[in-house]
């Protein structure tokens, strides 16, 4: 929307106008999604008891940084995050080894 300087879009249901969506509406939806993702990811991390690991969530992407006690704990953290966030269509999953 920004690239084309479009502030609002008409939403159609078949050929009938169903509403209008603005850039603000889209951003608000994304912000709420990131907040929910962050809450879920924080809960997973709290259960792992790894105080030197931090999470960041931006635009649906979860970034994990820091120092973890053992490689096996990293694999467990990744698996738990994937399981917890798997059903959220707004999450972008990626892993860095």
pLDDT tens figures, 25-69: 888 777 767 888 888 889 888 888 889 999 998 877 888 889 988
Residue 79 located in a structural domain: yes
On whether residue 63 sits in a domain, the answer given is yes
At 93, give phi and psi (nearest 5°).
Answer: -100, 130
Determine, yes or no, domain membership for 46: yes
Q: Is residue 27 part of a domain?
A: yes
- Residue 90 has a pLDDT of 56
Alpha-carbon span 35 to 57, nearest angstrom:
8
Q: What's the confidence (pLDDT) of residue 88?
A: 60
User: Which pLDDT does position 37 carry in this prediction?
Assistant: 85
Q: How many domains does the chain have?
A: 1
Q: Give a yes or no: residue 94 inside a domain.
A: no
Residue-number span of the structural domain to which 19 is assigned: 8-85
CA dihedral 32, 38, 44, 48 (to 10 degrees): -170
Is 26 part of a structural domain of the chain?
Answer: yes
Could you report the per-residue pLDDT of 1-19, keeping only the tens digit for each?
878 888 999 999 999 999 9
pLDDT of residue 91: 56
pTM attached to this predicted model: 0.57
Whether 1 is covered by a domain: the verdict is no
**Domain assignment of residue 93, yes or no:** no
């Amino acid at each position: 929307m920004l690239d084309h300087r479009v502030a609002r879009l008409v939403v159609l249901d078949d050929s009938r106008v169903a509403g209008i969506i603005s850039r603000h509406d889209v951003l608000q939806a994304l912000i709420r999604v990131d907040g929910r993702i962050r809450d879920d990811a924080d809960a997973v991390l709290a259960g792992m008891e790894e105080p030197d690991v931090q999470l960041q969530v931006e635009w649906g992407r979860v970034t994990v940084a820091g120092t973890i006690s053992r490689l096996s704990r990293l694999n467990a953290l990744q698996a738990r995050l994937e399981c917890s966030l798997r059903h959220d269509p707004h999450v972008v999953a990626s892993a860095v080894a």
